[in-house]
Amino acid sequence: QVQLVESGGGLVQAGGSLRLSCVASGTSFSIIRMGWYRQAPGKQRELVASITSGGTTTYADSVKGRFTISRDNAKNTVYLQMNSLKPEDTAVYYCNADIRPYGSIWGQGTQVTVSS
């Protein structure tokens, strides 16, 4: 089975930056799409950004212009560069991937906390 492992979360002041990483590992697979989601306590998990195998990106309106998603196919890794962070960005960030032949899988999450 394929596993997703996120890293790069932490505590940062408003206006600062963080870069999240998500590495996919396991048996033979092909990544079709990867995305970052976030969830704050008491709120529903929401899409932050996604990227397809062809490089097409999608962003939530709330992060457009501040966050950048990218991937390194050779390393089976997706990144989320987060700049100009705001307190409302505080959440657990989860990596999600649409992987053939396994379908949709999730990482364990990494905490991002932005102080004012």
Q: What is the pLDDT of residue 44?
A: 96
Q: What is the pLDDT of residue 27?
A: 83
| % residues pLDDT > 90 (the chain) | 91
| % residues pLDDT > 70 (the chain) | 100
* Residue-by-residue DSSP string for the chain: --EEEEE--EEEETT--EEEEEEEESSS-EEEEEEEEEE-TTS--EEEEEEETT--EEE-TTTTTTEEEEEEGGGTEEEEEE-S--GGG-EEEEEEEEEETTEEEE---EEEEEE-
Q: What is the pLDDT of residue 7?
A: 96
87-103 mean pLDDT: 96
Query: Tens digits of per-residue pLDDT, 46-93?
Result: 999 999 989 999 999 999 999 999 999 889 999 999 999 999 999 999
